[in-house]
Structure 1
Amino acid sequence: AGGHKILLFSQFTSMLDVIERRLKTERILYYRLDGSTKSEQRTRLVNAFNENKVPVFLISLKAGGTGLNLTGADIVIHYDPWWNAAAQNQATDRAHRIGQKHTVTVYKLIARHTIEEKILELQENKKALSDQILSEEGVTASHLTKEDLLQILQ
C-alpha cells in the first residue's frame, strides 16, 4: 500500500511457496526467482521488476546471491537467516547497485527463542572475531581461549 518495492529472500523454496500462496490470496503481484529459474528468464524477471510496478520479488537466497541488479527495490526482507552472513549480505547488495535512486531499508525477521535467534548470535560472533582479526591490534589463535572457540561454534 505504501508503494514500496520489496525483495524478499528465504533460504527455503518451500517457505517461498507458502509466501507465494499468501500473495496470491491477497492478490498482490510478484515475481519469483529460485534455482529452477532459467538464465534468460532471470534476466527478464530482473528487468521487469526494475521497470514496472510489481511490488514483490521472491528470491531464494542461493539463487539471488550473485549477478542480479535489482535497483528497483527499496526494501529488502530476509525472511529467515542463513548461518553465513556473507550470503545474506550478497543478497542485500542486489539492491545496492549503481543506479539505485532510493534509500534501501533492510529487515531481518527473527522470532524470539528460536533457532533463528541462535543463528543471528552465531553471525554476530563470527563478525566480531573477523573484526578483531582484521583490526590493527589483531588477534592470534594464542589469544583465543577454549571458551571463545566453543562459543563461536556453539
Structure 2
Amino acid sequence: MQDSAKLDYLLDLLGSLAEEGRRVLVFSQFAEMLALVAQALDERRLAYQSLTGDTPGTQRAALVERFQAGEVPVFLISLKAGGVGLNLTAADTVIHYDPWWNPAVEAQATDRAHRIGQDKPVFVYKLICAGTVEEKIQGLQQRKAELARAVLEGGSTQALRFDEADVAELFAPL
C-alpha cells in the first residue's frame, strides 16, 4: 500500500480513540477505501466491522447489535449502505473520511449516532486534505447549504448561485 498521510492520520486517530474507550463510526463514499482502512486496522490489530453495499441484508441487524453491545470499537460504513435505517447510539464519535457533494448525505450518516436513546455528546470529524479536490468540495457544500438556508428562510439567493466559474474552479489543476 502506498503511503497516505490521510490514512496514517485516521489510523492514529482511531488508535487513540479506541484507547480512550470511544465508539467510532467511520464513513466513506468508497467501499474500496473502507477495504484499505480495514486492511490497515488488521495490521494494527484494532477490532472493527464493516457495512457496505455488498453486505447481505441478513447480516445488517447482527452488525448493528454487535456494535451497540460494545463488541467492536470501530464500525466502517459506506455512505450508501449506512444512509438509512441504522440506529447506532452506542457511537460517540463520527468520522467522515471523504466528503460527498451533497451535505445532506453526510448529515444523514452523522444522524445514525443522533437518535432517541443517545445519552452522550457525539464528536464529528471530517478529514479533508488542504489543496485538494476535497477542499473544493467542502467549499461547494458550504455554499449549497447557504443556498438551501436562504431558500428555506425566504432570503435572497442571488449571491449564492453556482455558475460555470464554480465548476471550472472545481476541476482546475491543484
1:152 positional shift: 8.4
- Please show how residues 60-99 of structure 1 align to structure 2 within 5 Å: 60-99=78-117
* Pair 1:99–1:129, CA change in 2 (3 A): same
Q: CA 1:3 to 1:11, structure 2 compared with 1: closer, same or farther past 3 Å?
A: same
* Alpha-carbon distance in 1 for matches of 2:45, 2:95: 20
Q: Does 1:139 align with 2:152?
A: no
Q: CA deviation at 1:48?
A: 0.9
What's the counterpart of residue 108 of structure 1?
126
Whether the 8 Å CA contact 2:64–2:88 is kept in 1: the answer is: yes
Pairing 1:12–2:30 present: yes
1: CA distance, partners of 2:161 / 2:48? 44
- Residue-by-residue CA offset, 1:64-101 (whole Å, 9 max, x unaligned): 01100001100000000000111110000000011112
Tell me if the contact between 1:68 and 1:94 (Cα under 8 Å) persists in the aligned partners. yes
- Give the ranges of 4+ consecutive aligned residues of structure 1 lying more than 4 Å apart after TM superposition: none
Opposite residue 163 of structure 2, the aligned amino acid is L
When normalised by structure 2's length, the TM-score is 0.81
Once the two structures are superposed, what CA deviation does each residue of 1:39-70 show, in whole Å capped at 9, x if it has no partner? Answer: 22000000110012411000001100110000
- What root-mean-square deviation, in Å, do the aligned CA atoms of Structure 1 and Structure 2 show? 1.7
Task: Flag the 1:53–1:134 CA change in 2: closer, same or farther, 3 A.
Answer: same
TM-score norm. by structure 1 comes to 0.91
Identity %: 52
Is there any run of 5+ residues in structure 1 with no aligned partner, and where? none
Match of 1:54 in 2: 72
Instruction: Report the Cα distance in structure 2 between the residues aligned to 1:148 and 1:112, rounded to whole angstroms.
Output: 24
* 1:44 aligns to 2:57 (yes or no): no
Equivalent pairs counted in the alignment come to: 149
Displacement of 1:153 in angstroms is 4.7
